[in-house]
Structure 1
Amino acid sequence: MFTRSAIFEGTIRKGQEEAFFRMVEERLLPVWKRMPNAQAVRVMRMVDSDPDSPDIAMVQEIDYPTMDAVKEALASPVRLEGRAITDEMMRMFDGRFYHVVYNRIAPK
């Protein structure tokens, strides 16, 4: 099992929090669920962290069965749909987002 995660490091602009997460739920989540080979999609909103940790507003995770499945999803036109919406959403965000891919060790 491989999980590709998007980490939104930074802060949502004041007064934009509801619009930001509404865009995630109403526009991005449906696209993410259509990613080829996606087995599960999770979106987490940060509520607390260690005092010295960076500001993380949100983390998104999509599970895939293999690394080849991840690569197929990344080459998909569905990804471009999500990227266009993400670029629009980033107008409400001060920071950056980046991706990491994990190989699940436990549980299997």
Structure 2
Amino acid sequence: MITRTAIFEGTIKPGFEDRFREEVRTRLAPLWGQFPHGSNVRLFFVDQVDEGAPPIAMMQQVDYPSLAALEEALASPIRTQARALTLELLEMFEGRFYHAISSGNAVAAAA
């Protein structure tokens, strides 16, 4: 499994916190669910980070069965739509966003 994680490093501009979260939930998240081959879409609004860590406002993850499937999703028209909306929503955000690609499987909890 391949996971693509978007990290929104920074802060939501003061006074826009509720609107930003609502716009992400109602407008952007539905597009993420339409990416070809994507599954297990996860959205995290970060409430706190360790002392000394950079501020992170939000993270989003989508799983793909393979790197080839991810590449197909990134070439799809739905990604163009999601990217345009993301850039619009960044007007309410101060910081940067970037992606990390990881592979792995869940680790079972100790009994």
2:36 maps to 1:36: yes
TM-score (norm 1): 0.96
Partner residue of 1:49?
49
| 1:35-82 deviations in Å (ceiling 9; x for gaps) | 000111000011121111000000000000101011000000100000
Equivalent residue letter for 2:15: G
Q: 1:89 to 1:15 in 2, by over 3 A?
A: same
State the structure with more CA Rg: 2
Give the fraction of aligned pairs with identical amino acids, expressed as a percent.
46
Q: Give the deviation of 1:105 after TM superposition.
A: 3.9
In structure 1, C-alpha distance between the alignment counterparts of 2:16 and 2:104, rounded to whole Å: 34
Number of aligned positions between the proteins: 108
Structure 2 stretches of 5 or more lacking a match? none
Q: Give the deviation of 1:106 after TM superposition.
A: 3.4
Structure 1 stretches of 5 or more lacking a match? none
TM-score (norm 2): 0.94
Partner residue of 1:87?
87
- Give the ranges of 4+ consecutive aligned residues of structure 1 lying more than 2 Å apart after TM superposition: 105-108
